[in-house]
Amino acid sequence: MPERMSFFIPRESRIHSLNPLTKLTLAFSLIIIAFFCPGLFLPITINFLVLVPLSFLGKVGKEFIQTSIRLLLPLFAFLFVMQSLFYPGGKTELFGIWIFSVTSEGVVFAFRTATRILVMVSSFLLLLLTTHPSALMSDLARRGVPASLSFIITSTLQIIPQMQAKAATIQDAQRSRGLDTGGNLINRIRSLLPLVGPLVFSSLVDVEERAIAIEARAFTLPVEKTSLVEIPDSPAEAILRWFLAAVAIITIGYRIWLSLSSRI
Amino acid sequence: MKLIDSIKRDFNTMTLVMIPVAIAINVVIGQIVSLLKLPVYLDSIGTVLVAAICGPWAGALTGTLSNIIWGLLIDPNAFPWFPVALVIGFVAGWCAVGGLFRAWWKVIIAGILVSLAAAAISSPIQVYLYGGITASGSSFITAFLLQSGRDLMTAVLSTNFLVEPIDKIATCLLAFVSARYLARFPRPENIMGSSSR
């Protein structure tokens, strides 16, 4: 069976043993705070004083930093170059290159956007590195999310690696009968259909088989389902979740109040 | 309730097993296309396919979940873009109900409609979340428009209206070709032409 692909790293830690919903709530609250609270340096503070220490507590600190750099560095480089050169309405010129001028407004704007995105991506990353997607889905299903929804997500996570293997096989097969997947643009466009066609059709063949399989197991019956895997949860965590949700709601309220009072 | 009936009609067991396959098609083909370095994404073929053969609600769900899965597996940057994928599935679904998936030249019209909706939804997200600049080549067009005096929203909108149609027309055509081979789904009449009605 092919390896499931995900960010998840199986280790024993305090963060791993938290309930998935707690980690999900934490991620959402941090994102809301980063986006709605005023303060230029707040998002980067959240990242380095909350998320990074938590990732080390979860024993995934190295992977956390590596993955966030891999995911975000190209975007941030692009963002800083483009925004500092092209930010509209920038007045304070820091220095000029040829016909362009770098304005401090542009740099500040790029910094604000980049640090918010940093919090958004890395708080999800913390969740994903320490939580198996299936654990998250079965916990959500236990709390009343429709079973068909968690079926869709977990079975997608299984199908994708299988389909990637299939795609690799098709690519090899087409290359061995002389399909050129390199070269100029026209060549690459023409090579698309022989790769995509067999992949789509062969996967659609499996669909009917799967439908029969789950109908034969009474999946669509409207009865309460039991779960094989028990996901730990504690009252303390429930309190933490409500606290985080309250902080997030207060943040949004504060922001609305702030924008209303500035308009008067 | 007409709305609930319309939603219910989209979801039978075939839809339920089709959606994971469609999401996998989105992800895997998206990866192949970026490997071939084509100037398009083609990462919503599965979404449009489900939208056409199962209906707009199933299409919207496929799009949304597709972005969530993309975020779970590949890049958490994909999460905030889920409304775009939702709208792609939804609009493509109604295009199919309206008969735009019955002939290849009509599919091009559907592709244009889908791309307009996608551009309208993705532009505000791009402006408010990313300040208008993302790490794709089309941001150079945005920067050029900004430099020539347009405001940020206009620049981003025009860029997206310029870039999206090519991708979405190709997506819809590929989904159309694949969909011709299927008929057991809730809305086969959308793609089979007038003879089967």
pLDDT band of B135, cuts 50, 70, 90: low
- Chain-centroid distance, C-alpha A32: 15
Assess A163–B contact: CB distance below 8 Å, yes or no. yes
- What average pLDDT score do residues A236-242 get? 91
Main-chain phi, psi angles of A6, to 5 degrees = -170, 175
Q: Are B146 and B90 in contact (CB under 8 A)?
A: no
Q: In Å, how far are A54, A76, B138 from B79, measured between CA atoms?
A: 22, 18, 20
Tokens of B135: 């790490």
Average pLDDT (A100-116) is: 83
Selected for mutation to probe chain B from A86, A137, A255 (highest B CB count within 10 Å) is A86
Structural domains in chain A (count):
2
Give the residue on B whose Cα is nearest the Cα of A168: B32
Per-residue pLDDT, B91: 96
What pLDDT was estimated at residue A234?
Answer: 85
In a domain, A187, yes or no: yes
Q: Distance from A209 to chain B by nearest Cα, in Å?
A: 9
Shared-domain flag, residues A126 and A168: no
A157 pLDDT exceeds 90?
A: no
Instruction: Note which residues in 166-185 of chain A have CB less than 8 A from chain B.
Output: 167, 171, 181, 185
The yes-or-no verdict on residue A253 having pLDDT over 80 is yes
- The residue whose two tokens read 């290159």 is A97
Give the span between the Cα atoms of B146 and A180, in whole angstroms.
40
Residues A158 and A210 in one domain: yes
Work out the average pLDDT over A100-127: 85
Q: Any chain B CB within 8 A of the CB of A128? A: yes
The reply to whether A242 and A159 lie within a common domain is: no
Same-domain check for residues A75 and A154: no
CA distance linking residue A236 with residue A163, whole number of Å: 41
Instruction: Yes or no: say if B165 and B36 are a contact pair by the CB < 8 Å rule.
Output: no
- The per-residue pLDDT of chain A, averaged, comes to 84
The pLDDT value given to residue B197: 37
d(CA A9, CA A60): 8
Same-domain status, A33 and A110: yes
Interface probe with A: pick from B7, B21, B45, most Cβ of A within 10 Å: B21
Q: Is residue A139 part of a domain?
A: no
Least reliable range by pLDDT among A153-167, A217-231, B49-63, B89-103: A217-231
How high is the pLDDT of residue B183? 57
In tens, the pLDDT along B81-112 reads: 999 999 999 999 999 999 998 888 999 999 99
User: CB A191 to CB B13 under 8 A?
Assistant: no
Look at the alpha carbons of B67, B68, B70, B75 in this order and tell me if their dihedral is positive or negative. Answer: positive
pLDDT at A2: 40
User: pLDDT at residue A1 above 50?
Assistant: no
Average pLDDT rounded to a whole number, residues A63-83: 85
Residue B1: pLDDT band (50, 70, 90) is low
The answer to the question of residue A140 being in a domain is no
Return the residue of A nearest to B18 by Cα.
A207
- pLDDT at residue B196, as a whole number: 40
Buried/exposed A194-224: b ≥16 CB within 10 Å, e otherwise: bbbebbbeebbeebeebbeebbeeebeeeee
A50 with A73, same domain: the answer is: yes
In a domain, A224, yes or no: no
Cα distances from A236 to residues A13, A18, A97, A135, in angstroms, run 17, 11, 56, 20
Q: What is the pLDDT of residue A208?
A: 79
Average of per-residue pLDDT across B126-153: 77
Q: What is the pLDDT of residue A154?
A: 85
Most A-contacting residue of B37, B79, B133, B178 (CB-CB within 10 A), to test interface: B133
Query: Is there a domain that residue A225 lies in?
Result: no
pLDDT score recorded for residue B63: 95
Task: Name, in order, each residue with C-beta under 8 angstroms of B29's C-beta and a sequence gap of 6 or more.
Answer: A196, A199, A200, B42, B43, B45, B46
Q: Cβ of A208 and B37 within 8 Å?
A: no
Record the tokens describing residue A252, joined without a space. Answer: 């949004």
Say if residue B64's pLDDT is above 90.
Answer: yes
| B133/A83 Cβ within 8 A | yes
Range of the domain at A170: 146-216
My answer on whether A29 and A127 are in the same domain is yes
Nearest-neighbour CA in chain B from A39: distance (Å): 16
Residue B135: which of A78, A159, A214 has the nearest Cβ?
A78
CB contact under 8 A, B72 and A7: yes
Q: Is the pLDDT confidence value at A202 over 60?
A: yes
Domains and CATH numbers, chain B: 2-117+166-191 (1.10.1760)
Outline where DSSP puts E strands in chain A. Answer: 93-97, 100-103
Written as one string, the DSSP assignment of B25-81 is: HHHHHHHHHHHTT-S---TTHHHHHHHHHH-HHHHHHHHHHHHHHHHHHT-GGGGGG
pLDDT for residue A246: 93
Instruction: Say if the Cβ atoms of A167 and B28 lie within 8 Å.
Output: yes
pLDDT-derived band at B45 (thresholds 50, 70, 90) equals very high
Task: Provide the percentage of residues in chain B whose pLDDT is more than 90.
Answer: 37
A120 with A192, same domain: the answer is no
- What does the pLDDT read at residue B24? 92
Both structure tokens of A194: 């022989």
Eight-state DSSP code of residue B39: S
pLDDT band at A242 (very low <50, low <70, confident <90, very high): very high
Q: Tell me what the pLDDT averaged over chain B comes to.
A: 85
What's the pLDDT score for residue B97? Answer: 92
Q: Are A73 and A162 contained in the same domain?
A: no
Q: Do B45 and A188 touch (CB under 8 A)?
A: no
Q: Clarify whether residues A34 and A102 are in a common domain.
A: yes
In a domain, A86, yes or no: yes
A168 in the same domain as A258: no
Q: How far away is chain A from the Cα of B117, in angstroms, using its nearest Cα?
A: 25
**Maximum CA extent, chain A:** 72
The identity of residue B180, as a single letter, is R
- Answer with the residue of higher pLDDT: A245 or A181: A245
Angle of the B45-54 helix axis to the B152-179 helix axis, nearest 10:
60
Specify the amino acid at residue B158. S
Looking at residue A109, its pLDDT comes to: 84
pLDDT classification of B48: cutoffs 50, 70, 90: very high
What's this model's pTM, rounded to 2 decimal places? 0.83
* Residue A229, in any domain of the structure: no
Q: Return the bridge partners of A117, or none.
A: none
pLDDT(B194) > 60: no
Nearest Cα neighbor of B188 from B53, B89, B95 is B53
Among candidate residues B69, B83, B77, B72, the one with its CA nearest the CA of residue B117? B83
End-to-end CA distance of chain B: 25
Q: Looking at the predicted structure, is the pLDDT value of residue B50 above 90? A: yes
Q: Is the pLDDT of residue B36 over 70?
A: yes
Q: Which of A81, A124, A60 is nearest to B78 (CA)?
A: A124
Region of residue B55 (phi > 0: left; psi between -120 and 50: alpha; otherwise: beta): left
Q: Are residues A98 and A199 in the same domain?
A: no
Across the interface, whether the CB atoms of B131 and A200 are under 8 A apart is answered no
Q: How far apart are CA B72 and CA B114, in angstroms?
A: 25
* pLDDT score at A264: 63
- Domain contains A221: no
CA atoms of A61 and A45, how far apart (whole Å): 17
pLDDT digit string (tens) for A5-18?
678 888 888 888 88
Across the A:B interface, residue pairs with CB atoms under 8 Å apart total: 157
